[in-house]
Amino acid sequence: MIPQAPRFKRRKSAVHGDGVFTLDAIARGASVFEFGGPVVTAAELRDGMRVMQIGPDEYIVEDIDADYIENYINHRCEPNVGFLHGTLTLHALRDIAAGEELFWDYSTSINEPGWFLPCACGVASCRGKIQSYCDLPDEVRRRLGGIALAYLR
């Protein structure tokens, strides 16, 4: 029997704005979401674009006319999903119970020196800011290396 893909719901997050919550339990290692969309270079980026860096000079541009649920996955310094295989697919890092909010560490995709956002994810190990992978302390990069996109490994 082929396992059914998990179902998700967007709703208010205790961490930030809206978040993505799973309606079904997700087993450790299971595929959760795959990011995709038009890819542009840094020279093509414009103010107001929402993008995700996927390579040294590659960015996926969010379709502002579409309301994709994966656009609402919040950051957490202790994520429960990550890029286990270095691809654009998020996988469960542990068993995730039905009703839990999904979180990935935004630092595992971006590598723009000096880039950062304040972080208030609320976990005991919160770094206080979400920053570029290259600006993270060595021990944090080593810890996140196995869940970062391939170009950062």
Residue 101 lies in a domain: yes
Residue 51 lies in a domain: no
Structural domain span for residue 29: 8-33+74-152
Residue 148 lies in a domain: yes
Residue 25 · residue 99 · CB < 8 Å: no
Residue 109 has what pLDDT? 97
Residue 70 has what pLDDT? 86
Residue 145 has what pLDDT? 96
Residue 61 lies in a domain: no
Task: Provide the number of structural domains found in the chain.
Answer: 1
Q: What is the CATH number of the domain that holds 134?
A: 2.170.270.10
Binned at pLDDT 50, 70 and 90, residue 3 comes out as: low
Residue 40 lies in a domain: no
pLDDT in tens, 72-100: 999 999 999 999 999 999 999 999 999 99
